[in-house]
Chains A and B, each alone.
Chain A
Amino acid sequence: MTAVVIILGIGAAVGLALYLLKAAEIRSIRKQLHELKGTDTNSLIHSKNGSADKLINEINQLIKDTRTLKIDYQKKNHALEQMMTNISHDLRTPLTSAMGYINILQNSDISEEEKQREIAIIENRLIRLEELINSFFELSQTISSGKPPELSQLNLVSVLEESIVHYYDDYCSKNRQIILQCNKHKLMISSNRNMLLRIFDNLINNSLKHGCGDLVITVAEDNAIAVEIKNNLPSAELDIDHIFDEFYTTDISRTKGNTGLGLAIAKQFTEILGGSINASVCEGYFTMTVKLTYNKEEVRL
């Protein structure tokens, strides 16, 4: 009888102690949450006696997620601000220059020949402006619409060749060559022709503007198709983690009239097409690799 009473007594005491610990822990959590709310801190909830560790872990996970979101948002916001300034600069440059030439045309007596030449320059500037506006429009559209692209069966190699032809003269005028290394003439994939063309255009154009030496394009076929674009790098200053960010440009390239949108668009489009793109620098060579998935069975058929 006494034994039963003792055991019950001990049981009750243990139960009460556990209850009190839990209550104290809950109070402590509430207090800490209240403090966290009011301060800009990295701190998380700490346990006081270990009676609600799992609850604390869940709350902390939530807090961490919220903070990551906040930081991401701030980053995006900062990038957007930067983008606004960059866009206005980029748009203004060709426009100002064109306006300058129009002024000259209006206010001075110059020969017809010179007039023609200046009109050509103005046209050039306006074309550049149109390009800029188009590419910006394109990017914002793909980002905001989220619609899946229309896919069709097409030959990757021929799309690539088309892009190369497009830039061939530009490369030749700089005494550079484009070398295509591909052992097949036909690689059928299910993709969107315009987007693919745009990706290759942008990458080749990027190498034209920022790279030097010959451009080597290699097409390899494994589980995925990998298109590798490789060229020499004139300067070592390159932030490899950020080159695909919108409006990433190094200080040097800023002066060359460049939007910084090209690679961002290439990345966006590749991802929409279900591929991936990455860049690396190795021994003075800059390499960008586009990986596109394709179904091998489909090709054989």
Chain B
Amino acid sequence: MLNLIKADLYRITKTKGFYLYWAIVLVTYIVNIAYKSYGGISLGAPLEYDESLQIDIGAVAMNFTFYFLNIFPVFSIICGEYSEHTIKNSISSTISKKNFFISKYIFTMGYTLFSYVFANYAYYFANRLINGEDYSSTFGEFSGAFFRQFPLMAAIVSLFIGLAFLLRKGAAFNSVTIITPIVYTSAALALYGISSTKKIAEKLLTYETSTMLSRLALDYSSNYTVKCFIISALIIILSLFIGYFSFTKRELE
């Protein structure tokens, strides 16, 4: 299994997605540091913040960007193997289907989350170095905000992996992962307009991905955080099941 992970690590540096990922991360953070603004993408309600909010915590709150960035590695590591039909090379002479899934899951999880942690902390230190302490929070504060968000990001990656194994085709995977949050928000907003479903819509908007990511970074209320953690855990378990069974029980094409 470790060998498969080593091989994937070798291959990922040969993909375009790898370079695109780091290029986008770099540009986002350079803009953030240079203009001292939060930047990033959000589909939820606009951020409610006061003047005292440091830009690095703000940037963590805007980490929804990584939702889209994480599509790249998952796509290269898993969908790439499907679209090139290379899975049969590994299954036919190297590894069992079960271990193949486990290795891919561990590597994709590990790699994307490591990149996520690395990017955020590199940004934190870069910002502290360039903009000085006036524009940055303490290490503890930053880590607190970041790691409250972390389980949700892990759940997102896990869901991506499950979807990649379920959908197989790169095009299908891309459209589903990119469109779903937009559809989700639009649907919730549509429901919000109807008086009878307004309550449900409010709940839906509270647990919208980008809203959750922002609120987890800013909000210290334990009730909401715990609920988000539970949602994350459920998503991880569900996606593991979907991914594992759709890979091992279905015929390889």
Say if the beta carbon of A115 comes within 8 Å of chain B. Answer: no
9 example contacts (A-B, Cβ-Cβ < 8 A) are as follows A46-B3, A47-B3, A48-B2, A48-B3, A49-B2, A49-B3, A50-B2, A50-B3, A50-B6
Residues of A close to B3: CB separation below 8 A: 46-50
Looking at chain A's contact residues, the main secondary structure is: loop
By the criterion of a CB under 8 Å from any partner CB, how many residues of chain A are at the interface?
5
Interface bits B1-31 vs A (CB < 8 Å: 1, else 0): 0110010000000000000000000000000
Per the bound structure, the CA–CA distance linking A10 and B116 in Å amounts to 21
> What 4 A-B pairs come out closest when comparing CB atoms?
A49-B2, A50-B6, A48-B2, A48-B3
Interface bits A41-78 vs B (CB < 8 Å: 1, else 0): 00000111110000000000000000000000000000
**Residue ranges of B at the interface with A (Cβ–Cβ < 8 Å):** 2-3, 6
Per the bound structure, the CA–CA distance linking A4 and B3 in Å amounts to 34
Per the bound structure, the CA–CA distance linking A49 and B2 in Å amounts to 6
Q: Which residue of B lies closest to A47 (CB)?
A: B3
Residues of B close to A47: CB separation below 8 A: 3
Per the bound structure, the CA–CA distance linking A86 and B116 in Å amounts to 75
B54 shortest CB reach to chain A, Å: 23
Residues of A close to B2: CB separation below 8 A: 48-50
A51 shortest CB reach to chain B, Å: 9
Per the bound structure, the CA–CA distance linking A50 and B2 in Å amounts to 9
Per the bound structure, the CA–CA distance linking A210 and B3 in Å amounts to 58
B140 shortest CB reach to chain A, Å: 12
Per the bound structure, the CA–CA distance linking A50 and B1 in Å amounts to 12
Q: Which residue of B lies closest to A51 (CB)?
A: B2
Per the bound structure, the CA–CA distance linking A49 and B6 in Å amounts to 8
Residues of B close to A48: CB separation below 8 A: 2-3
Per the bound structure, the CA–CA distance linking A200 and B183 in Å amounts to 92
Residues of B close to A46: CB separation below 8 A: 3
Per the bound structure, the CA–CA distance linking A48 and B94 in Å amounts to 12
Per the bound structure, the CA–CA distance linking A14 and B6 in Å amounts to 18
Q: A49-B3, A50-B6 are in contact. List 7 more A-B contacts (CB 8 A).
A: A46-B3, A47-B3, A48-B2, A48-B3, A49-B2, A50-B2, A50-B3
B105 shortest CB reach to chain A, Å: 18
